[in-house]
């Protein structure tokens, strides 16, 4: 089941969980956390060019026995469905997903209404929908 958390809770989880690698597509909601990860975390931080690539990086790290987290904006959730359903779930190697939940601006409304439903359909257990104040112009 997807968990809904605040930006502060996401920061605490990302900084205090012993991740070996944290990867994802940089996002304005998480920019302050990413700065802290680079400064205070022992995890290797690998910015990615797209969300599917980030999931593949995390999956590879998990194959090598590492603990991995992926961050993305909910607009990129569609990009991770294939690697999640064809690699992660069948292999039971599911990185923690930190998904910036956006929903009030016009370009985010549809995904903001269905992101949690998508994760429920996938039965993806290690997902966090991160709520913040990033929905203003």
The per-residue pLDDT for range 18-69, each reduced to its tens digit, is 999 999 998 777 888 888 998 888 999 999 999 999 999 999 999 999 999 9
Name the token pair of 22. Answer: 């944290």
Q: What is the mean pLDDT of the chain?
A: 89
pLDDT 10s digits, 108-122 = 667 777 888 999 999
**Residue 9 dihedral angles phi and psi, to the nearest 5°:** -65, -40
- Measured distance CA(121)–CA(32) in Å, rounded: 31
* Model pLDDT, residue 105: 61
Q: Is 88 helix (H, G, I), strand (E, B) or coil?
A: helix
**Residue 23 dihedral angles phi and psi, to the nearest 5°:** -140, 160
Delimit the domains of the chain by residue range: 3-131
* Model pLDDT, residue 52: 97
Tell me: pLDDT of 1 over 90.
Answer: no
Residue 137: pLDDT band with limits 50, 70, 90: very low
Alpha-helix residue ranges (DSSP H) falling in 1-137: 7-16, 31-40, 51-63, 77-83, 89-91, 109-122
Architecture of domain 3-131: 3-Layer(aba) Sandwich (3.40)
pTM summary value: 0.91
Contact present, 94 and 88 (Cβ < 8 Å): yes
């Amino acid at each position: 089941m997807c968990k809904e958390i605040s930006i502060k809770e996401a920061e605490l989880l990302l900084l205090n969980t012993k991740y070996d690698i944290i990867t994802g597509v940089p996002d304005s909601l998480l920019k302050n956390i990413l700065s802290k990860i680079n400064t205070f975390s022992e995890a290797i931080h690998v910015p990615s060019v797209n969300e599917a690539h980030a999931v593949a990086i995390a999956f590879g790290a998990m194959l090598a026995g590492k603990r991995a987290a992926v961050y993305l904006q909910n607009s990129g959730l569609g990009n991770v469905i294939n690697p999640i359903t064809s690699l992660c779930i069948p292999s039971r190697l599911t990185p923690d997903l930190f998904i910036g939940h956006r929903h009030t601006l016009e370009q985010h409304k549809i995904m903001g209404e269905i992101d949690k439903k998508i994760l429920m359909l996938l039965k993806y257990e290690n997902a966090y929908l991160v709520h913040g104040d990033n929905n203003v112009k």
